[in-house]
Amino acid sequence: MQRFRIGAITDEFSSDITIAATAMHELGMKGAELRVVGGKNIMDLSNDEIAQTMSVLRANGLEVVSIASPILKCTLPDAPEIDSRFQQDMFNAKYTIEDQPRLAERAFEIAKLTGAKIVRVFSYWRVVTPEVVFERVVDALQELADKAAAHGLIIGLENEHACNIATAQETARVLAAIDHENLQVVWDPANAYISGENPFPTGYQLLDAKRIGHVHAKDCGLDGHKPIWGALGECDIDWQGQVDALAEDGYKGYIHLETHWPGPDGNKFEGSKICGHNLRKLVTGNAL
């Protein structure tokens, strides 16, 4: 029995949507998350390019679950200095604070074009004292949730190690501050781990499971604060325990692969296929 529907951020397989979608379909995936397509960040695609992307996804039986936007993945002005310990992954996106309102509106438009219900966001690049900017982060997320509500969409806050809300503990504090049905969590245990937290069971138990809207799956070991990415389910994260707990808590959303691992001999496409098989086994007990 497959307890969860699975999918992936498409560019973890390939920036070429046809290559990615074909591989995902072969792995039994049903969900897609759009971040980089054809070498462009999803926010920079034209409507025609989005339509072409959707045609390929539909032909492979894939629905768009989330827009993996870079909203609030930028520097917050008049804030403490950036914490340089954590790598800032850009994924063909480089936007400033001035771009954020435009990005939000475009993300809502893309969600409508693709049928996605979740728009993923962040919490500004992490500063050395995140508690100093906490209220400003809350204000920005509250505003986004209010805007999303008008579109019938969910703002999915990802706990990101390079951003101010990185751990489950920090995420739980945001949820306590913003009681809004249009704000949910994109739970990423590996990001919490890189941030110094034991993501499962300790971190996960701090979260309100009913407010987890989406889950990202990747795995790693650590060298200080530097992640050593590897095959899903074969590194330090207790993924079997995490998946079992999600099932027990009644989670109904997707679990999406976000490989990050460069793959065997640097072949990331093969690495994503390996991780895809492992994800399938985690949710079903059986690999393909």
* Residue 274 in this model has a pLDDT that exceeds 60: yes
Whether residue 1 lies inside any domain: the answer is no
Instruction: Report the pLDDT averaged over residues 72-94.
Output: 87
- Which run of H or E residues covers position 193? helix 189-194
Q: Is residue 219 part of a domain?
A: yes
Contacts of 197 by beta carbon, 8 Å cutoff, 6+ apart: 167, 168, 169, 203
Is residue 201, in this structure, part of any structural domain at all?
yes
State the average pLDDT for the chain: 96
Please give the C-alpha separations between residue 284 and each of 3, 24, 43, 189, 227, in angstroms, as whole numbers. Answer: 6, 16, 34, 20, 28
Q: How confident is the model at residue 197 (pLDDT cuts 50, 70, 90)?
A: very high
Q: Is pTM beyond 0.85 here? A: yes
* Mean pLDDT, residues 46-51: 98
Verify cis geometry, omega within 30 degrees of 0, for the bond prior to 201: yes
Residues spanned by the domain of 77 = 6-284
Tell me the average pLDDT across 261-288. Answer: 91
How far is residue 9's CA from residue 20's CA, in Å, rounded to a whole number?
9
The answer as to whether 211 is a domain residue is yes
Number of domains in the chain: 1
State the CATH number of the domain containing residue 141: 3.20.20.150
Q: Is the pLDDT of residue 288 over 50?
A: no
| Tens-place pLDDT, residues 112-171 | 999 999 999 999 999 999 999 999 999 999 999 999 999 999 999 999 999 999 999 999
Residue 221 lies in a domain: yes
Closest CA to 120 of 28, 191, 204: 191
Question: Residue 252 CB: number of other CB atoms within 10 A?
Answer: 9
Is residue 87 predicted with pLDDT exceeding 90?
A: no
Q: Is the pLDDT of residue 82 over 90?
A: yes
